Amino acid sequence: MEEKTLVKYIENRLEYDEKQLVIEWINASDENQEHYNMLKAKHTVSAFNDPLLDVDKTYAVIKERRKKRRIKEALRSWLPVAGVLVIGWLMYDFFNSPETTKSGIVDNVETGIVEEVTPKGVSRAVTLPDGTEVVLNVDSRLRYSGAFQGSLREVFLTGEAYFEVKRDTSRPFVVHAGDMNVKVLGTSFNVRSYSEDEDTRATLVDGSVEIESAYGVPVRLEPLQTALLDRQDRRIEIKRVSAEEAVSWKEGKLIFRETLMEDVLEDLERRYDVEFVIRSEVLYNYQYTGTFDNLNIDEVLRVLKISSPIHYKKEGKKIILN
């Protein structure tokens, strides 16, 4: 076999028929195979340092994966302490709150602190004493002083909520969420700060808000901009979003754009009050793009099965993926 033809084969520049001949030739003897082996290695080496891999882009993907695991590791190592904190806090609530209503409102008469809580799978609209409308997404908690007195209207959020703030220029409205404070006069916006998330994010729909954090100067948002505060890097990033994306969950939609499957599943767990057990390494790295428009969990699973490398088995609240 001519060396030239072999090189052409390695470079994938042969027609189908010629290719077949080369394959036959390599398979004809150990000697031929060995000859090919060295030529292939030399050809491979000759391409070294050609910038064929987008190193920046692929490293960003790896970094993303690494960050997720680090949070998990941190959670795991803090679990014993967190357990004590949660228990301590539950007991506090138990002794101090005379009434726990069915809707999840915890009203503490002594301190005047009102707490609105939504469990997994349930979102709810709430009207605050000043007339501000809040839609609390699933698995979220909003605390505020019942009277709303003083020069500030302050609320504390874990989870996600959409706000339509009643205008009152004399008393700014402030949402405390994680490391972020969102300060507004009268406007509508969305804040998301689930503890499993890597960032706290505020999306402005209409009006104007100011984002404060401990890590830099305050930032003013324009409508349809999102401020993402990365909890690890402690940096605020501003992104543009579509009106549909901004508060899609309010209309019962879940929109994902090149989102890591792990994040998608986290959102689904909260929304449908289910638990995913992932038994496939491949799934972790899979990025999903798609919209679930008011689907029930079975419909969601069917869509996922068609559009991504997922097989599932449902066992009560548990869904096993492989």
Site membership for another protein, residue 56 (CB under 8 A) = yes
List the one residue from 38, 84, 147, 306 that touches another protein (CB under 8 A): 38
The CA angle 286-288-289, to the nearest 5 degrees, is: 155
Q: What residues contact 290, with CB distance under 8 A and at least 6 apart?
A: 256, 303, 307
Distance between CA atoms of residues 97 and 201, nearest Å: 31
Query: Would residue 74 be called left, alpha or beta, if left means φ above 0 and alpha means ψ between -120 and 50 degrees?
Result: alpha
List the one residue from 18, 21, 27, 85 that touches another protein (CB under 8 A): 27
Site membership for another protein, residue 65 (CB under 8 A) = yes
In a 3-state reduction of DSSP, which class is residue 280?
Answer: coil
Residue number with CB closer to another protein (37 or 149): 37
List the one residue from 4, 12, 15, 217 that touches another protein (CB under 8 A): 12
- Rounded to a whole number of angstroms, the minimum distance from the CB of residue 33 to another protein is 6
- Rounded to a whole number of angstroms, the minimum distance from the CB of residue 31 to another protein is 12
Residue number with CB closer to another protein (100 or 285): 285
Distance between CA atoms of residues 317 and 207, nearest Å: 41
List the one residue from 19, 120, 166, 183 that touches another protein (CB under 8 A): 19
Residue number with CB closer to another protein (33 or 307): 33
In a 3-state reduction of DSSP, which class is residue 62?
Answer: helix
Q: Compute the CA torsion angle 270, 275, 278, 279 (nearest 10 deg).
A: -170
Query: Which is nearest to 146 in space by CA: 99, 186, 184?
Result: 99
Site membership for another protein, residue 305 (CB under 8 A) = no
Site membership for another protein, residue 50 (CB under 8 A) = yes
Under the rule (CB under 8 A), what is the footprint of another protein? Answer: 12, 16, 19-20, 23, 26-27, 33-34, 36-38, 40-45, 47-53, 55-56, 58-59, 61-62, 65-66, 69, 285
